């Protein structure tokens, strides 16, 4: 069980939902890239819809992770993955939501240095979605029993 009150849980779920909407648009752009057969390099992709959706999704996801950390909430099944990407994702989020002094700030690419980072972010996102739904079901059941 997550140690958040109902309001805190719903706020985090809302932010996760916003991130999920953006992620779905990112998935559409990934499919367009695959279907077109045209390969873009990272610099071209990051300034296109593909990169915009990815960047906003990563930034929104970081906001959820940051709040979980601030509330000292541990999720054993994904804690290691969160810890592995947390610092580089924080830098990425900062570069996305705060204009940097350099156009190609190193903060934008730190998250991409480790090839498994993207896979971990997808796993974290999916796991959080399931966790929020599960927690809401538990709370709904508890209220109906009381």
Ordered alpha helix ranges (H), the chain:
6-36, 42-46, 49-70, 79-97, 117-145
The pLDDT of residue 45 is 78
Structure tokens at 140: 């709904």
Which candidate, 61, 64, 41, 38, places its Cα nearest to that of 51? 41
The per-residue pLDDT for 146 is 64
pLDDT of residue 1: 54
pTM for the full model?
A: 0.91
Residues 108, 109, 114, 117, CA torsion sign: positive
pLDDT of residue 48: 87
Q: Which CA distances in Å does 97 have to 52, 65, 79, 105, 116?
A: 11, 16, 25, 13, 24
Q: pLDDT tens digits, residue range 66-77?
A: 999 999 999 999
Average confidence (pLDDT) per 10 residues, the chain, 146 residues? 86 97 95 84 80 96 97 95 98 96 92 93 97 92 80
Burial 83-119 (b: 16+ CB within 10 A, else e): ebbeebbbbbbebbeeeeeeeebebbbbbeeeeebee
> What token pair was written down for 63?
């906001």
């Amino acid at each position: 069980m997550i140690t958040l009150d109902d309001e805190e849980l719903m706020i985090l779920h809302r932010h996760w939902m916003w991130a999920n909407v953006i992620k779905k648009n990112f998935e559409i752009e990934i499919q367009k890239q695959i279907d077109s057969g045209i390969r873009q390099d990272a610099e071209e992709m990051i300034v296109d819809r593909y990169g915009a959706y990815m960047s906003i999704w990563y930034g929104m996801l970081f906001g959820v992770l940051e709040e979980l950390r601030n509330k000292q909430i541990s999720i054993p099944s994904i804690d290691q993955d969160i810890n592995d990407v947390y610092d580089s994702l924080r830098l990425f989020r900062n570069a996305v939501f705060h204009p940097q002094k350099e156009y190609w700030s190193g903060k934008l690419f730190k998250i991409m240095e480790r090839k498994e980072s993207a896979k971990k972010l997808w796993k974290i996102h999916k796991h959080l979605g399931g966790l929020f739904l599960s927690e809401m079901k538990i709370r709904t059941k508890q209220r109906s029993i009381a």
